[in-house]
Amino acid sequence: MDLKAVQENWNRFGKTDPFWAVLAWPGMEEGRWEVDAFFATGREEIAEVMALIEQLQLQPAPIKALDFGCGVGRLTQALADYFQEVHGVDISESMLALARELNQHADRCHYHLNPRDDLSLFPDNEFDFVYSTITLQHMPPRYARSYLRELMRVCKPGGVLIFQIPSRPKHPVQRALRPLKPTRLWRWYQKLRYGDQPVMNMYGIPKENVMHLIEQQGCHLVHVEPDQRADQAWESYRYVVEKPLTSPKPR
Ligand SMILES: C[S@@+](CC[C@H](N)C(=O)[O-])C[C@H]1O[C@@H](n2cnc3c(N)ncnc32)[C@H](O)[C@@H]1O
């Protein structure tokens, strides 16, 4: 799946059932999410993230935050309770249209469409806090790796990056078969089965490779913990990364 196909898929989700595509909780499909309840989940999640930051004795300046894969702004708006300015980036125009419509902080939450596999829309060292959850899991790993490098690039020295990404399928058979899944054939099967309906593809990067990537970028892995937000069939982690004040050049 290339980035164009990823974008088309999420544009369809944004037009059909955007809240459920973001949080696929059982019983909430077909427009059953109430707007207030949906955004309350974002506030709960960010409050929990801020408590973790405090527990780890990290102190990102409360100035500028980035929410990568912001969807309809569930977490972008919640981040505005802690940061002066928040930027949400997404590949889907339809998701962003709804994010803008529902934005309660028009002067402080800004949304950006980014169809590229980099974040060249932002300069180096721009954000005090960078967050991404249930996003990197929905794109082929080559793109997730590129965005991870970019998320570390745009994070300020002394800033904090927190992200979630699955590592591998939990079931040994699925794990063994995964590298063999012929992508073209799989896409053809999905097209046959689902037609033009959007599909929620899952991918991961092994934990040791993510840790290596962080090190390569000259950043410091402060904490890693299992995360339950991915599909239950996957082992997934949340990584807390600090960009040192004097960062060695990425290798
Ligand atoms: C499951 S939703 C999560 C949204 C948000 N992180 C949240 O938790 O409320 C995944 C989002 O990632 C976006 N996305 C997928 N691939 C992307 C990419 N390459 N760049 C930016 N956003 C992407 C989708 O459009 C979608 O809005």
pLDDT of residue 240: 98
In a domain, 249, yes or no: no
Is the C-beta atom of 148 inside 6 A of ligand 1? no
**Which atom in ligand 1 lies closest to the alpha carbon of residue 24?**
1
Cα 246 to ligand 1 centroid, rounded to whole Å: 31
Hey, whose CA ends up nearest to atom 4 of ligand 1? 71
Please check whether residue 36 is in contact with residue 27, taking contact to mean a CB–CB distance below 8 angstroms: no
**Which atom in ligand 1 lies closest to the alpha carbon of residue 45?**
8
pLDDT grade for 188, boundaries at 50, 70 and 90 = low
pLDDT of residue 187: 67
Hey, whose CA ends up nearest to atom 9 of ligand 1? 74
pLDDT grade for 89, boundaries at 50, 70 and 90 = very high
How many domains does the chain contain in total?
A: 1
The answer, yes or no, to whether residue 182 has pLDDT greater than 60, is no
pLDDT grade for 126, boundaries at 50, 70 and 90 = very high
Strands (E), 42-154: 64-68, 85-90, 109-113, 127-132
Q: What is the pLDDT of residues 31-86, one digit of tens each?
A: 999 999 999 999 999 999 999 999 999 999 999 999 999 999 999 999 999 999 99
Which of 138, 164, 200 has most ligand 1 atoms within 8 Å of CB, for mutation? 138
Which of 69-73, 170-174, 181-185 is least confident?
Answer: 181-185
- Per the prediction, the chain carries an average pLDDT of 92
Which residue range(s) make up the domain with 214? 3-242
Is the C-beta atom of 6 inside 6 A of ligand 1? yes
* pTM of the model as a whole: 0.92
Is the C-beta atom of 90 inside 6 A of ligand 1? yes
In a domain, 186, yes or no: yes
In terms of C-beta density within 10 A (0-12 exposed, 13-18 middle, 19 or more buried), how is residue 72 classed? buried
Hey, whose CA ends up nearest to atom 19 of ligand 1? 91
**Which atom in ligand 1 lies closest to the alpha carbon of residue 71?**
27
Alpha carbon distance 135, 139 (integer Å):
8
Q: What is the pLDDT of residues 131-157, one digit of tens each?
A: 999 999 999 999 999 999 999 999 999
In a domain, 248, yes or no: no
Alpha carbon distance 68, 113 (integer Å):
11
- Range 102-121 average pLDDT: 97
Is the C-beta atom of 92 inside 6 A of ligand 1? yes
Alpha carbon distance 37, 22 (integer Å):
13
Is the C-beta atom of 133 inside 6 A of ligand 1? yes
For residue 196, what is the DSSP state?
T
Hey, whose CA ends up nearest to atom 1 of ligand 1? 22
Is the C-beta atom of 99 inside 6 A of ligand 1? no
pLDDT of residue 211: 98
**Which atom in ligand 1 lies closest to the alpha carbon of residue 133?**
6
Residues contacting residue 46 through CB under 8 Å, at least 6 positions apart: 75, 78, 79, 81, 82
Is the C-beta atom of 144 inside 6 A of ligand 1? no
In a domain, 251, yes or no: no
CATH number for the domain including 181?
3.40.50.150
In a domain, 247, yes or no: no
pLDDT of residue 205: 96
CB atoms within 10 A of CB 133: 21
**Which atom in ligand 1 lies closest to the alpha carbon of residue 73?**
9
Q: Would you give the distance in Å from CA 150 to the centre of its chain?
A: 13
The answer, yes or no, to whether residue 161 has pLDDT greater than 80, is yes
In a domain, 95, yes or no: yes
pLDDT grade for 170, boundaries at 50, 70 and 90 = confident
In a domain, 129, yes or no: yes
In a domain, 100, yes or no: yes
